[in-house]
């Protein structure tokens, strides 16, 4: 274990320390320290402030905890190694002491779920539990992080599973087209590299040493964000989690990079398919999601994200019958902002569909939206927004994404008010000022005879 903190924090999830073999966590004698700054709470451990995103609700006797570690995502993979995906999958195979099946049986006996997932920039370990088993759930999370099942036999199982998943992608033409597009528009950046890698040999190349290095670098308190909710007492829950954080090294923070979409020429991949899978993207040059994000969402809804009724669907499918589906929507995050779309069409309609898509978007930039389209978009977006934050998991996800993207934690009301007040002149000025949306790059999976 690299000494990323002081001696007090010399333990790590791969050190196999003695405490990881205990049946329960020794409670800490010190009180939890919570710092409030504006609308945010932070857990103070030594000189580290761990962000807390919470939604405490008594409606159901359940709890949800997510530990998000910034830096554990796919964009931080070593060159040509899908390390993040392999490591997160390893964490779903129990502890070394109990093994995969033994640990799973133990969790099932108390209806506790622990799941590790990897995103573009982070590794997330999520725990779901009944309120009465909160202590047990935290104890098993502690055991997992201090005694993960890092063995050669487990690594082989994980490799076999992921290699099979990668092989199955060879006939997933949506995946193939999306991957080809990312390799095109994000060439020579980490976003061009798929989570599973490009070849089976890249999965095979990963070693236990790679995984241990990944874990000791990323599972640290400096990279952690706490997302917690349910029928819980926040102060009490954080107090119970202190021993877990005490077992982790301090580490160091990492900056999240951002990337721009590069406009490029059309790329084609020949496959044994009966349809053409057209994927496309364009830049969206906005720097302030709070000021411009809601305008981009309305523009995207009108242009292509609303399905039937959108410009693309009406012109391409309804009026001309060129495609089975046609969508385009904005990607809005701190990593990249862009427009992304996909169309599925008949092989002999491929070229005509691409040409028409370009014409529709150029016309949209020139002439903007209509009042009827804006009114329809407002009605749907405002009406559906509460439904997107109806469940506990949805509310926690929304709050986390707001924090991640530099927005207020409770952004929903401001967002709805912005949509209500958006007038046609402002929307069309926004659309006209972003002519880069028409700079489309296409990637197509089509038949070898085409």
Q: What is the pLDDT of residues 116-175, one digit of tens each?
A: 999 999 999 999 999 999 999 999 999 999 999 999 999 999 999 999 999 999 999 999
Query: In the chain, which stretches have pLDDT less than 50?
Result: 1-12, 14-23
pLDDT, tens only, 354-370 = 999 999 999 999 999 99
pLDDT at res. 6: 40
399 touches 228 (CB < 8 A): no
Q: Which domains does the chain have, with CATH numbers?
A: 33-247 (3.30.830.10), 267-447 (3.30.830.10)
pLDDT at res. 450: 59
pLDDT at res. 308: 81
pLDDT, tens only, 405-442 = 999 999 999 999 999 999 999 999 999 999 999 999 99
pLDDT at res. 3: 35
């Amino acid at each position: 274990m690299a000494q990323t903190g002081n001696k007090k924090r010399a333990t790590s999830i791969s050190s196999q320390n003695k405490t990881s073999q205990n049946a329960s966590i020794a409670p800490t004698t010190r009180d939890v320290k919570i710092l409030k700054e504006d609308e945010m709470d932070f857990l103070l451990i030594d000189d580290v402030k761990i962000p807390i995103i919470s939604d405490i609700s008594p409606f159901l006797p359940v709890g949800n905890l997510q530990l998000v570690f910034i830096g554990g995502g796919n964009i931080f993979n070593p060159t040509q190694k899908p390390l993040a995906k392999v490591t997160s999958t390893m964490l779903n195979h129990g502890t070394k002491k109990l093994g995969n099946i033994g640990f799973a049986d133990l969790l099932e006996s108390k209806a506790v779920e622990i799941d590790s997932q990897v995103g573009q920039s982070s590794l997330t370990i999520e725990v779901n539990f009944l309120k009465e088993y909160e202590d047990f759930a935290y104890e098993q999370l502690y055991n997992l992080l201090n005694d993960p099942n890092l063995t050669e036999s487990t690594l082989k199982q994980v490799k076999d599973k992921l290699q099979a998943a990668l092989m199955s992608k060879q006939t997933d033409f949506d995946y193939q087209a999306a991957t080809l597009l990312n390799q095109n528009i994000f060439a020579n950046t980490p976003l061009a590299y798929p989570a599973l890698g490009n070849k089976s040999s890249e999965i095979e190349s990963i070693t236990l040493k790679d995984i241990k290095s990944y874990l000791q670098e990323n599972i640290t308190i400096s990279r952690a964000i706490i997302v917690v909710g349910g029928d819980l007492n926040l102060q009490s829950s954080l107090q119970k989690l202190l021993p877990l954080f005490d077992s982790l090294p301090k580490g160091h923070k990492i900056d999240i990079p951002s990337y721009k979409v590069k406009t490029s020429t059309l790329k084609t991949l020949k496959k044994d398919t009966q349809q053409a899978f057209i994927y496309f993207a364009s830049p969206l040059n906005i720097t302030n999601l709070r000021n411009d994000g809601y305008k981009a969402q309305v523009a995207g809804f009108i242009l292509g994200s609303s399905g039937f009724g959108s410009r693309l669907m009406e012109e391409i499918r309804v009026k001309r019958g060129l495609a089975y589906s046609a969508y385009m929507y904005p990607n809005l995050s701190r990593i990249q902002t862009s427009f992304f779309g996909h169309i599925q069409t008949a092989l002999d309609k491929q070229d005509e569909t691409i040409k028409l898509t370009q014409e529709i978007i150029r016309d949209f930039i020139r002439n903007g939206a209509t009042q009827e389209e804006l009114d329809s978009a407002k009605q749907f977006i405002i009406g559906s927004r509460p439904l997107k934050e109806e469940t506990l998991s949805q509310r926690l996800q929304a709050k986390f994404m707001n924090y991640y993207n530099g927005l207020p934690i409770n952004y929903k009301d401001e967002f709805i008010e912005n949509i209500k007040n958006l007038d046609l002149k402002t929307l069309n000025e926004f659309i006209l000022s972003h002519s880069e949306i028409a700079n489309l790059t296409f990637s197509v999976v089509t038949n070898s005879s085409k």
